[in-house]
A = this chain, B = another copy of it.
Amino acid sequence: MSYGKLIEYADAAPEVRAVMDEIKAARGVPDVNNAWKAMARHPAVMRRFWERAKAVMQPGALDAKTKELIYVAVSIANGCHYCTASHTALATRKGATEAELAEMVEIVSLALEGNSYATFYGQEVDPALKG
């Protein structure tokens, strides 16, 4: 009910502990991040998000590192501090270098710049770009 209240493993409901156990095993960490401890307030939301996150972020047509870079880029554009911090850490663990992170953040701000001009100058989508 309170903002930012964390539920530790020792105090968590069984269905919450089950998700926490999976996260710890999947990431090889002794404890989950605060985001999961706060979300533990709503076990069903936590379970569904964890399942979706696992499915979407696993290597597929795009590799795991590229996926994390895209996740961070969207979080920056959307102004989410926590997600930027936690997924930059994940990106780094999956191999992203400082040079790659520096290029990624430049693309974020370039895209926002381009988006601004598109809104201001107001051109229609080119016929060649349409289906």
Contact = CB atoms under 8 A, between A and B. Distances in A.
A106 to B, nearest CB: 5
A123 B82 contact: yes
Residue among A78, A92, A108, A121 facing the most chain B CB atoms (10 A cut-off)? A121
Contacts of A42: 98, 101-102, 105
A3 B78 contact: no
B118 A80 contact: yes
Nearest to A43: B102
Total copies of this chain within the assembly: 6
Contact of A6 (B49, B72, B123, B128): B123
Contacts of A34: 123-126
A38 B121 contact: yes
Contact of A83 (B56, B104, B118): B118
Interface of A: 1-6, 33-35, 37-39, 41-42, 44-45, 48-49, 52-53, 56-57, 60-62, 66-67, 69-89, 92, 97-126, 128-131
